[in-house]
Amino acid sequence: MVTEASLSALVWMDASRRELPRLQLLLRLLLVFAFYLTAGKLGLSVPFTSGNVSPIWPASGVALASVLVWGYEVWPAIALAAFLVNFFSPVSATASLGIALGNTSSALFGGYLLRRFAGFQPSLARMRDVLGLVILAAVASPIVAASIGVTTLLLTHVHAWSDFSSAWRVWWLGDAMGVLIVTPLLLTGRELVSSVRGSRLTEFVLLGAGLSATCAAIFGGRTGFGVQDDVLAFVAFPFVIWAAIRFRVAGVAMASFLIAVIAVWGTAQGNGPFVKHDPLGNVALLQLFIAVTSMTGLILAGVIEERERAITERKRAEESLRELSGRLLQMQDEERRRIARELHDSAGQILAALSMNLTPLEPEANKISPSAARAITESLGLVNELSKELRTISHLLHPPLLDEVGLSSGLRLYLEGFAERSKISIDLDIPDDFGRLSRDLETAIFRIVQECLTNIHRHSGSPVGKIRISRSNGEVCLQVEDLGKGIPPEKRSAINSAGGGGVGIRGMRERIRQLGGNLEISSNGNKNGKKKGTTIVARLPVASISSTVVA
């Protein structure tokens, strides 16, 4: 029976569950408000700001990142912070309200575009995420803020820059710069902190120091060279490429941030390559420089990330395929062993019993008709022939001596039968003290020898063959030679490639690869009418002494 105290506890727990998301949402709103307000103040303090139209507006990057990470529910914090940033500036409250509406709508619109059309992932781990950020978020969504904001300033008689089109272009590019610089930095900052450790931390510090020194030399004036040539600004590009190659999108975001900070500071001091024109021209060049640097670095990092992921996925697929192939080979060997055992134990015993039943009838042949006696004799011959064929098939599938006494005896028995069937003389050179190997290794060597001899019989035309098996330095070396016609040159390159050759050669390669070995195939082919033959060398590692003994 439920007591009143337990009901009260359940009600309190349910209220706590509802209260936790509310508290979490409140904390998110406070964080977004604080970050946007700070970024907005920094944006308005950027030099060349005219009528609250800043050439670099980092608050747009903060707003978009918050929408992408926490959803549309953070819009009240963005709207309030955007209003207060402009309210405490020389513009009117009406203008501040219109600008806040435009900035909030731009962030929400950018988040919608990325989620709807790019399937955006905040980790920026895919090329489509990077392209979506550049095209949809940095190019498309600031159009909303620029259009509403500049129209509001015009209606409230705030004169920004020289005319409407100039103010609109500066606003649009300023918001785009904020998205390109700040959004990737916020989205990948945690990944950058977790990945930059040990030697990578040293490399990252060197990258930052080198980039800062280079930018200071370009834009530094008294503290640097303060170059006046526009082209020299792109000396910072190698560092962006370095960041993209080694630290991916997170590294490019940090590099772009450093470049933007130093470039804006230097240009504001009248130093660097972007101070030779009128203010509007200097701002346009500065914005284009930062945009090109950031976009190039982000796209390069995205391409590298995509390529690396494709290589990783391909390696995983190849590894899975190798595991599957190894498993199939193992199942094939097990099935051969099972069929060989069934042929010997079941069909072989039935034929033996049939032979035993027919044998006593031969002495009684004079008591029956000649046709019946002849049928009995022929039946006995057929039974004996069938028994011999079954025994041969069983041994070809899996010679029993291979499991019982080892590789040396199993090969000798197989070679005797092969020479009798094919009329090809095979010389086997294997030390008397060769010893036992693991079952998998002995089976693999036996199957490789089988495949090699099958190829000699079918393709080489050689009357002889030689097999050498040696064991030294933790490695087994198998060498099979013939004196046949060799492999034609047009097929040699295909065979030597990783996946080339016929089914038999691919099977040999896969067996050897599964055991960590390597396969070499050499053939001189016909030369001056002389047969040079083919040589196949397989090297297989012996894992340990304990693994070489078959229980």
**Would you say residue 223 has pLDDT above 70?**
no
List beta partners, residue 425. 464
Share of the chain above pLDDT 70, in %: 85
Distance (Å, whole) CA 509 – CA 329: 12
Q: Which long-range contacts (CB under 8 A, 24 or more apart) does 115-123 make?
A: 115/68, 120/68, 122/68, 122/69, 122/187, 123/187, 123/188, 123/191
- Identical fold between 26-188 and 405-551: no
Identify the residue whose tokens are 């500036």: 89
Which pLDDT value is given to residue 221?
64
Which pLDDT value is given to residue 500?
58
Identify the residue whose tokens are 């920026």: 124
Which pLDDT value is given to residue 460?
84
Higher-pLDDT residue of 31 and 317 is: 31
First vs last C-alpha separation in the chain: 65
Query: Residue 246 — φ and ψ, nearest 5°?
Result: -95, -30
Instruction: Single out the residue of 135, 15, 23, 24 nearest to residue 69, CA to CA.
Output: 24
CB 541 within 8 A of CB 475: yes
Distance (Å, whole) CA 408 – CA 412: 6
Which pLDDT value is given to residue 477?
92
**Would you say residue 486 has pLDDT above 70?**
yes
Q: Which two tokens stand for residue 311?
A: 């290589």
> Domain residues of the chain, as ranges?
26-188, 196-349, 405-551
**Would you say residue 230 has pLDDT above 70?**
no
Q: Which two tokens stand for residue 270?
A: 């009248």
Q: Which pLDDT tens digit goes with each residue over 99-152?
A: 999 999 999 999 999 999 888 998 888 889 999 999 999 999 999 999 999 999
Distance (Å, whole) CA 1 – CA 35: 52
Which pLDDT value is given to residue 259?
93
pLDDT category at 454 given cuts 50, 70, 90 is confident
Share of the chain above pLDDT 90, in %: 34
Which pLDDT value is given to residue 2?
46
Which pLDDT value is given to residue 54?
85
Query: Which of the 8 DSSP states describes residue 134?
Result: I
| CATH pick for 405-551 out of 3.90.1150.10, 3.30.565.10, 3.40.30.10, 1.10.287.3510 | 3.30.565.10
CB 531 within 8 A of CB 485: yes
Distance (Å, whole) CA 91 – CA 181: 27
Question: Within a 10 A sphere around the Cβ of 258, how many other Cβ atoms?
Answer: 20
Q: DSSP 3-state assignment of 184? A: helix
**Would you say residue 528 has pLDDT above 60?**
no
CB 418 within 8 A of CB 424: yes
Instruction: Single out the residue of 47, 45, 31 nearest to residue 81, CA to CA.
Output: 31
Task: Indicate the pTM of the whole model.
Answer: 0.67
**Would you say residue 89 has pLDDT above 60?**
yes
CATH number assigned to the domain covering 26-188: 1.10.1760.20
Average pLDDT over the chain, rounded to an integer: 82
Identify the residue whose tokens are 């060597």: 445
Q: DSSP 3-state assignment of 50? A: strand
For the ranges 87-91, 154-158, 227-231, 454-458, which has the lowest average pLDDT?
227-231
